[in-house]
Amino acid sequence: MSNNLEPREITIASSDGVTLEAQYISPSVADAPLGAAPSGDASTNRDALARTAVLLCHPHPLQGGNMKSLVTSELFRLLPPQGVSCLRFNFRGVGKSTGEHDFGRGESSDVTHAFARLVEMTPHAVVRIVVGWSFGGDVSLSTPLNAVDGHRGSDGWIAIAPPLRFGTEPAVAARSGKPVLIILAEHDQVRPAQEVAEDVTNWPNTTVEVVGGADHFFAGRTKEVAGLVTARLISLADIATS
């Protein structure tokens, strides 16, 4: 199979005249016609992942977060070789993105427009989800992500170590009824995992996983995080194609 695993530099138009710096990677099979399997690859998991796409949202801009921060960067590196199409971007005011930090409000609009671009770039994907780390998790959980131009909206959310303090209303994702996966760090120094787990206890269709030994930055644990992400993608793809 011939894959394009070099990131493509793109620009995304957000609200208020803001433009977002972004990068996109897509294994070529991800945009093949439905029903096509990767040539020479009999792996069921690979087949499932080849029909998935994720939008990656980075940690807090005012604390140095950007699309190349550790967890976001590692997922952008680890997921495409498994067949997953990935789009990552800098929130407004970060890197080459224009505008200014807007404390979650404008950033939610950034997520909406970036997701719309992901939909545009992956017309044949059967699963599209948003994966946000820390601030990016909070903002993504606060963003409805409904249907875009005739395509369904997000098929779910994955929030990695979300403090649940920065988004405008994190329960927006939970109220959608779509699956939410919360990945927590056992020794999170930003907000204790137990507190976050308690906050989402009553969220419908929400699963919590705790990565043992990890802190908020998941140093040395990013492969475990990627494993949890791919497992969720495979599950969603199996449901979508059953």
pLDDT, tens digit (0-9, with 9 covering 90-100), for 49-102: 999 999 999 999 999 999 999 999 999 999 999 999 999 999 999 999 999 999
The residue ranking higher by pLDDT, 148 or 47, is 47
pLDDT, tens digit (0-9, with 9 covering 90-100), for 142-195: 999 876 666 678 999 999 999 999 877 878 888 999 999 999 999 999 999 999
What's the pTM value of the predicted model, to 2 decimals?
A: 0.92
Provide φ and ψ at 94, rounded to 5°. Answer: -115, 135
Q: How far is CA 198 from CA 134, 156, 173, 174, 212, in A?
A: 17, 20, 17, 14, 18
Distance CA 63, CA 166 (A): 13
Q: Kindly give the pairing relationship between strand 4-13 and strand 19-26.
A: antiparallel
Cα–Cα nearest to 45, from 78, 80, 83, 3: 83
- SS3 call for 25: strand
Number of domains in the chain: 1
At residue 34 the predicted structure's pLDDT band, cuts being 50, 70 and 90, is: very low
Distance CA 68, CA 192 (A): 25
Cα–Cα nearest to 181, from 202, 160, 212: 160
Cα–Cα nearest to 66, from 27, 29, 107: 107
| CATH code for the domain of 187 | 3.40.50.1820
| Residue 35 confidence (pLDDT) | 36
Q: Which residues span the domain enclosing 135?
A: 4-241
pLDDT, tens digit (0-9, with 9 covering 90-100), for 106-119: 999 999 999 999 99
